[in-house]
Structure 1
Amino acid sequence: MDAAGPQVYDDMTVEVALSVMASARTGRLRVCDNDSLCTGLVTRAQLTVVRDGPGYSDRVRLRDILGDRGPCAPAAGQAIHRRPSALAQAL
């Protein structure tokens, strides 16, 4: 798989993923599961279609739109947006 921009986890919501894309100035994200295995790639266009769709809610996560995909190779030098720790969330 080609280099995909920032790396995020599949429990991220569509809205947050779109925000990460905007701040990273990229049009795609590499999506990983809880074991940091790449499960897919999402583009701004795909996320926009989901967000603008009739079944969208703010609870839709990336794993909901990716389905069950196999792992993909990590891209060298790609940033990963990790979940904040419990301590960071409490602050």
Structure 2
Amino acid sequence: MTLVQTQYRPGSAHHAHRTVADTMEAAGPQVWGDMTVEVALSVMAAARTGHLVVCDDDGLCTGLVTRTRLTAVRDDSGYTDRTCLRDIADVSAPFASPLATRAEAEHAMRHRRLGALPVVDEQGNALGVLALSR
């Protein structure tokens, strides 16, 4: 797991130094890696969300998939109805620490061209998702 590097800032810090924990969204639906792409798209539609947090068998966050990614996979010529999330999730993507500043996390996301980033605690449990500001 790669955490975005952080420097702790007190809660009274300036607005520009708000932490990820202050601005993240709820993690939303958490699914397992053996879920198929079609089922994941159905879960997203039902939850009215654009991303899903993917967890391992122990419930620890392993990555994140977006509707854009799932749709691209489904539209690919190599797609089968047995394609699972563990085969396509962005498991090498970084994770954000809730203590990171929003600015630090957004910088890392823009550098890696990520629209959303899972926020995890020290054990790897999903706490939320940070989406880039528009």
| TM-score tier (shorter) | 0.7 to 0.9
> Aligned residues: percent identity?
63
Q: How many pairs are equivalent?
A: 76
Quick one: which amino acid aligns to residue 51 of structure 2? R
Partner of 1:33: 56
In structure 1, stretches of 5+ residues that fail to align are 77-91
How far does the alpha carbon of each residue in 1:45-65 deviate from its partner, in whole angstroms, 9 at most, with x for none?
Answer: 000000000100000000011
Partner of 1:42: 65
**Match runs of 1:11-90 below 5 Å:** 11-66=34-89, 69=92, 72=95, 73=120, 74-75=126-127
In structure 2, stretches of 5+ residues that fail to align are 1-19, 96-119, 121-125, 129-134
Structure showing greater radius of gyration is: 2
Quick one: which amino acid aligns to residue 78 of structure 2? G
Separation in 2 of the partners of 1:31 and 1:38? Answer: 6
TM-score of the two chains, using structure 2 as the length reference:
0.51
Structure 1 stretches of at least 4 aligned residues deviating more than 6 Å after TM superposition: none
How far does the alpha carbon of each residue in 1:37-81 deviate from its partner, in whole angstroms, 9 at most, with x for none?
Answer: 1010110000000000010000000001127548951126xxxxx
Match of 1:7 among 24, 27, 30: 30
TM-score of the two chains, using structure 1 as the length reference:
0.73
